[in-house]
Amino acid sequence: MSTAVWQVTIVVLLAVLAFDLVLAIIRRNKETSMREAAIWTAIYVSSAIIFGYSLGEWNTTQSRSEFFAGWITEYSLSVDNLFIFILILARFKVDKTKQQLILLIGIILALILRGIFIALGAAAISRYSWVFYIFGAFLLYTAYKLITESGDKEWKEGRVITWFKTRGASPIIIVLIAIAFTDLVFALDSIPAIFGLTQDPYIVFTANVFALMGLRQLYFLLGGLMAKLIYLSKGLAIILGFIGFKLIIEAIHGGGTHKIMGIEIPEISTGFSLSVIVGTLVVTTVLSLVMSAKRNNSQDPKKLAKEKPE
């Protein structure tokens, strides 16, 4: 990608982030309505879709597929990250009028951390092909942890947070520290995931930025959905496990090995990866909503009263 394209992209995306920051400061004492949050979320998602489609027009169709695969994966991880933000802000009872700026600070921190890891990851991959083995193994481990964890999301205070509390740090400072650590953990997951789908630094960067755009507004939409998307973590585990497997296969091919015991090692295309990612998210989302509805019906006091024998 040319330097001019990079410069224009960075300027435009920074301008959008600056606009969001100014908007958050202006509206810091106002609550974001569901209608407003829905409109802004739709605008940011539509912008990502338009950008991804146009990428195939002025670049290549392969880059379009890679962007959408990367953006959808990173957006899913960002939503999971946002759920943790919801738990942290609820745990410390942060006033809704203060959540605007805290959320935006958390998103900016996430962008900075991911930018650092993108640069480090790109440098490592360009020099050492065996890094794919490490990335792949890390994603497989993360997938295993997500599969084996309990269905209910929870956030526990770590030693660092406890240390700051004992030193008399204010709740806002503790919340910001907790969100920064959460961003760090999710950055460690997201960067190997995106490099498993594309090694183009431009696509890696733009997919991550678009995945983080509008999360402040999305936060106010997801509060009621958190308890319903019960299988989101399981879906992410399948996606991360698949990408981890794909990375290891690419590392084997990169080492010059194309057959093991006479069996041809398959090459996983970007189109197939995109199908797996979208299909997994659709299935887990629908299944989550169906099971949540059944659970709510089974716990409905009126229904229980009718079923109770006289």
Is the pTM above the cut of 0.85?
A: no
Is 71:211 a contact under the CB 8 Å cutoff? yes
Beta bridge partners of 263: 260
pLDDT at 181: 74
| Alpha-carbon distance values, 229 to 14, 151, 183, 216, 281 (Å) | 32, 10, 21, 19, 11
CA 75 from chain centre, in angstroms, equals 4
pLDDT at 239: 80
Mean pLDDT by 10 residues, the chain (310 residues): 80 81 72 77 88 82 85 79 72 70 75 77 73 79 75 60 71 77 73 78 84 75 67 79 79 65 70 81 83 68 53
Of 276, 70, 72, which is closest to residue 191 (Cα–Cα)? 70
- Helices 96-127 and 171-195 cross at an angle (nearest 10°) of 30
pLDDT at 48: 87
DSSP state string for 211-272: HHTTHHHHHHHHTTTTTT-TTHHHHHHHHHHHHHHHHHHHHHHHTT--EETTEEPP---HHH
Of 100, 274, 283, which is closest to residue 196 (Cα–Cα)? 274
Is 277:239 a contact under the CB 8 Å cutoff? yes
Is 87:154 a contact under the CB 8 Å cutoff? yes
